[in-house]
Amino acid sequence: MSVARFWRKQQNRYNLIGTRCTTCGKYFYPPRGFCPDCRREGKIVDHQFKGTGKVVTYSIIRSSSGNFKLLTPYVLAIIELDEGTRLTSHLVCDIDQVYIGMPVRRVFRKLGEDGSSGAIFYGTKFVPA
């Protein structure tokens, strides 16, 4: 991922800042700039998420590519944040530790790098709470 492409989402990824529609009250992480329910009537503002939630579903990835190749086997999960929105994340824990409904919290971690001389990307991952 190019430096500019990562940089423009840096606040979102570093700090788990998403958005909220003040018309319907719905939360969005990953952030949306347009409310899919209210559409033109929606008003989107930034929102700082608490960073706690639970595992909706998961898989243990045994074969991957790029930055994730060296991490195999690792836990991939869909996480529902307490505010109600869902996201996909690498869950940093033992592969036999994860279960549906497991409480999790956010942590700041390295996400990957652009080769040995390129930029290093950081952002949010989750660990058991």
Partner 1 sequence: MREVAVIGVGCTKFGEKWETSFRNLFVEAGALALEDANLSGEQIDEIFVGNMSAGRFVEQEHIGALIADYAGLATDNIPATRVEAACASGGLSFRQAYTAVASGMSDIVVAAGVEKMTDVGTEVTTDVLAAAADREWEGIAGITFPGLYAMIATEYMHRYGLTREQLAQVAVKNHDNGAKNPNAQFRKPITLDTVISSTLVADPLRLFDCSPVTDGAAAVILAPLERAREFTDTPIKVLGAGQASSTIALHDRKDICTLDATVAAGNRAFQMARVERKDIGFVEVHDCFTIAEICAIEDLGFCKKGEAGKLTEEGQTAIGGKIPINPSGGLKACGHPVGATGVKQVYETVKQLRGDAKGRQIDTEIGMTHNVGGTGATVVCHIFGRV
Residues near partner 1, by CB under 8 A: 1, 9, 13, 30, 56-69, 71, 74, 76-78, 86-90, 100, 111-112, 121, 123
Task: Name 105's bridge partners.
Answer: 52, 127
Q: For 13, what's the count of Cα atoms within 13 Å in the CB-facing half-sphere?
A: 14
CB 36, min distance to partner 1, A? 8
Task: Name 127's bridge partners.
Answer: 105
CB 68, min distance to partner 1, A? 4
CB 129, min distance to partner 1, A? 18
Strand duo 44-48 + 27-28: pairing: unpaired
In the chain, the DSSP E strands lie at 17-21, 27-28, 44-48, 52-61, 74-81, 86-91, 103-113, 120-128
CB 97, min distance to partner 1, A? 13
Q: Which is nearer to partner 1, 1 or 17 (CB)?
A: 1
Q: 32: which DSSP letter?
A: -
Q: Which is nearer to partner 1, 22 or 68 (CB)?
A: 68
